[in-house]
Structure 1
Amino acid sequence: MKSVTIAICNYNYEQFLADAIDSALAQDYPATRVLVVDDGSTDRSREIIASYGSRIRAVLKPNAGQVSAYNRALDEIDTEYVILLDADDLLYPAAVTEVMRRFDSADYAKVQFRLDVISRDGAATGVTVPHSDAPADCGSLLRQGWLYPSPPASGNAYKTSALRRFFPIPETSEGRYGADFFAIYGVALVGQVASISHALGAYRVHKSAPKDVSFANSEKNTKAPKAYMARWGALRFVARERLRIDLPEAFHDFSHEKAIFCSEVYGAPLIERWRWFAFESRDYLHSIVANPFWGLAKKLATIGLSCLCLIPYAPLSDYVVRFISNPLARRGSAAH
């Protein structure tokens, strides 16, 4: 039986860490190992880690950021496959079994699966991410600059040898975070990706609510575009240096363009909304119209919703922006 490591990278998530570790230990796949890399936590995380004794393997390191934690995890892993589980998320008991069944069916570099979105206290919201499956050959589209649909970090299982083709990622003061970006997209350059169309885990959203315009635990929409650009630049560098692959200077991604759209339109006066659509919306519209992962119905619906932001009624315009940007807004009070 092939072995799998669930590697949990943690920094100051004492309130969620035990749930993540418990979910990893509860896997029904016998050859599952659990590794916890603590990146210099200053809360009670290390006490929690110590309480598990020999049931897990722990690495305690000074704080250096998520990229450093991923690099260290890849140094420690000695199994053929790995799931990089965020310390605030969960896996369902059959997750590894289903992932390994898919890995055994073909030569995949990554198997991704959907995640149920849960609130800070673990309550179900009725939302699942991502909304689209990725094609098997994501690499050819990535070489054209298209970022493929992927779940957050915890919804991805990797062949360890594929990750090591481009890890470790250079550690810089500007690039401490976003390690999952490099794993998710870099792996598509070295092999095919499989998608499982149902949820095998849960993604905890503890910094977002239905009335928020952002749907994330890290960068808000005002910061996300700059972070995406920096990470794309770093990915291009690693792809060129390690894989001899030249990625285009610009990339295309609806999530990225959506963040720009929201930061420019949300709460803006009517004249500013019209100005942005008239003069600055080209990349946003291109990420919809030319999107290779969407069908015609979804493209038309997204364009139609976006145009509602041009009507002279700010409450409706702002609601539409939240609806497009934050999946929790589509469920209303169900997310509480």
Structure 2
Amino acid sequence: MNSRNDIKITCAILCYNYGRYLHQAIDSCLNQSLDTSLYEVLIIDDGSTDETPNICSSYGNKIRVSRTKNQGFAKSIERALVEANGDYVAYLDADDWWHKDKLAKVYQELTDNILVVAHNLSDVNENGVEMGRIGACGNTSSVCVHRLAGLTLMPTTTEIFCQPLLDIGKGKILNDVLGYYRIHEKAMTDRTPNGKHTAFFANTNYVLANNLYSLKKNLPFWLDNEKIMDRLAKKYFSEGVIKDFERATELSNASFGAWFRMVGWILSAKRRFGKRELRLTVRLLLQKTGLKNR
């Protein structure tokens, strides 16, 4: 294990009316194999109206609780960074839980040059039974980010805010399955269909791009190259444009003008015109020619 015992991790459990799952999430943090002196457990209660406050009280001083009126998931992510005592913040959605060795394995990777670590999660159903699928790497419950680096990337809408740290080589993706991602109807970040899901992620990328553009004026400690920052900003802005075009095709109101805008931003960001963009182009042509979209 990394011998740098000056590092401390805040386990930030994000909760809004997930009292029915909360015991399992908290216990998975408290029962980690990592030395307990190296981490704390912080509950970010976003104004829950269920049994969440009572469950938190039952743990006494084993955990720390921050409770506000309901402000939404994005604010919970930000509050965790602001209120954490640790050098790193490991996020956990209250309907998920961790493997007992999660923190120990993440801790091994933390160095001055590693500002974010993510890992695989095992999908489980509402009752916690594994579904035989591995994925969700980069999901909230798999992300551990350097607190000060994360703060420079606020505000955000989702855990995507820390992706630029991976882009510049200051992160690590572990192949280990170190957590369990619950699939159920009332997931905290659930988005409805009919274009709203895609619109949400378009906005997420625009928010991140705007943050990165603003950082060009005052470069953060984790990147001292203005050109690279500009390239990152264009990458995420172009992703927003692609998502906007995708949404338009979902609603069957895409235009050739929107297609040219997408291509222009792909070229500006020096991205590849890949299978996704080709699929969206074919969808546009089918819609414009009146053929059935398959």
Identity of aligned residues (%): 24
1:13-55 residue CA offsets vs partner (Å, 9 max, x unmatched): 1121221111111111112210001011111111111111111
Q: Is the 8 A contact 1:39 1:69 kept in 2?
A: yes
Aligned equivalent of 2:50: 43
Amino acid corresponding to residue 238 of structure 1 in structure 2? N
1:240-281 residue CA offsets vs partner (Å, 9 max, x unmatched): 22453442274238x9589749946xxxxxxx8xx99x9999
Choose between structure 1 and 2 for higher RCO, CA contacts under 8 A separated by at least 6 residues.
1
Aligned equivalent of 1:123: 129
Q: How many residues align?
A: 258
Measure, in 1, the Cα distance between the counterparts of 2:127 and 2:56. 21
Aligned equivalent of 2:172: 194
1:33 aligns with 2:40: yes
Q: Is the 8 A contact 1:81 1:159 kept in 2?
A: yes
Any residues of structure 2 matched to 1:1-336 within 5 Å, and which? 1=5, 2-30=7-35, 31-104=38-111, 107-130=113-136, 150-167=137-154, 169=155, 178-182=157-161, 184-188=162-166, 192-207=170-185, 217-220=190-193, 222-244=195-217, 245-246=229-230, 247-248=233-234, 250-252=237-239, 256=243, 260=247, 263=250
Measure, in 1, the Cα distance between the counterparts of 2:245 and 2:172. 26
Amino acid corresponding to residue 130 of structure 2 in structure 1? A
Measure, in 1, the Cα distance between the counterparts of 2:100 and 2:244. 36
Residue aligned with 1:49, SS = helix
Residue 4 to residue 40, structure 1, CA distance change in 2 (3 Å)? same
Residue aligned with 1:158, SS = strand
Residue aligned with 1:200, SS = strand
Residue aligned with 1:252, SS = helix
Measure, in 2, the Cα distance between the counterparts of 1:220 and 1:28. 40
* Unmatched runs of 5 consecutive residues or more in structure 2: 218-228, 287-291
Q: Is the 8 A contact 2:199 2:243 kept in 1?
A: no
1:297-330 residue CA offsets vs partner (Å, 9 max, x unmatched): xx88xx89xx9xx9xxx9xx6xxxxxxxxxxxxx
TM-score using structure 1 length: 0.64
1:189-225 residue CA offsets vs partner (Å, 9 max, x unmatched): 77612111121101111029xxxxxxx7334362122
How far 1:162 moved relative to its partner? 1.4
1:48-68 residue CA offsets vs partner (Å, 9 max, x unmatched): 111111110111111111222
Q: Is the 8 A contact 1:118 1:203 kept in 2?
A: yes
Residue aligned with 2:144, SS = strand
Q: Is the 8 A contact 1:166 1:243 kept in 2?
A: no
TM-score using structure 2 length: 0.72
Residue 256 to residue 49, structure 1, CA distance change in 2 (3 Å)? farther
Measure, in 2, the Cα distance between the counterparts of 1:187 and 1:12. 31
Measure, in 2, the Cα distance between the counterparts of 1:279 and 1:237. 23
Residue aligned with 1:73, SS = helix
How far 1:122 moved relative to its partner? 0.6
How far 1:71 moved relative to its partner? 2.2
Residue 57 to residue 185, structure 1, CA distance change in 2 (3 Å)? same
Measure, in 1, the Cα distance between the counterparts of 2:176 and 2:246. 26
1:177-196 residue CA offsets vs partner (Å, 9 max, x unmatched): 833232x3354477612111
Residue aligned with 1:114, SS = strand
Amino acid corresponding to residue 70 of structure 1 in structure 2? I
Measure, in 2, the Cα distance between the counterparts of 1:256 and 1:203. 25
* Unmatched runs of 5 consecutive residues or more in structure 1: 131-149, 170-176, 209-215, 265-271, 293-298, 318-336
Runs of 4+ in 1 over 3 A off after TM superposition: 186-191, 216-221, 242-246, 255-264, 278-284
Measure, in 2, the Cα distance between the counterparts of 1:158 and 1:22. 21
